[in-house]
Amino acid sequence: MPDAYEVRSSGRINARIRDLYHEAARRGLASAFDSALRRIHERLSSDPKSLGEQTFTYHSLGLLNFAAVVTPLSLEFCVDDLRKIVYLRRIDLL
C-alpha cells in the first residue's frame, strides 16, 4: 500500500539529519535517534496532522505548519493536504 503523503526534505535538511546522527552517536543516542526518525517518517507519511501541534497556516500557499517532538528530536514541517505532500522544514537534536 503506498504512503498517503509524500515526505520531502531539501538537501540542506538531509545534510542536517546526517550531522545530527553523528552528534547523537557521540552522545550515545544513535539507537534512539534511528527509532525516532523511523517513527517520524511513519507518522508524516500516514497521518501528519496527528503529529505535534499546528502552529500557523500559510493561507496563500495552502500549507499548515506544525511543530513536534519525538525524543530525542524536535521538528517543524508543513502539510499540503491538496497535493498530499509533507515538507520537512527543520529538525534538531534535543
CATH number, position 10: 3.30.2310.20
Domain membership of residue 80 (yes or no) is yes
Q: What is the pLDDT of residue 3?
A: 60
Question: In the chain, what percentage of residues exceed pLDDT 70?
Answer: 97
Range of the domain at 22: 6-93
pTM, full prediction? 0.93
Please give the tally of structural domains in the chain.
1
Angle in degrees, 0-180, between the axes of helices 11-26 and 30-46, rounded to the nearest 10: 150
> End-to-end CA distance of the chain, in Å?
33
pLDDT tens figures, 57-84: 999 999 999 999 999 999 999 999 999 9
pLDDT tens figures, 22-64: 999 999 999 999 999 999 999 999 999 999 999 999 999 999 9
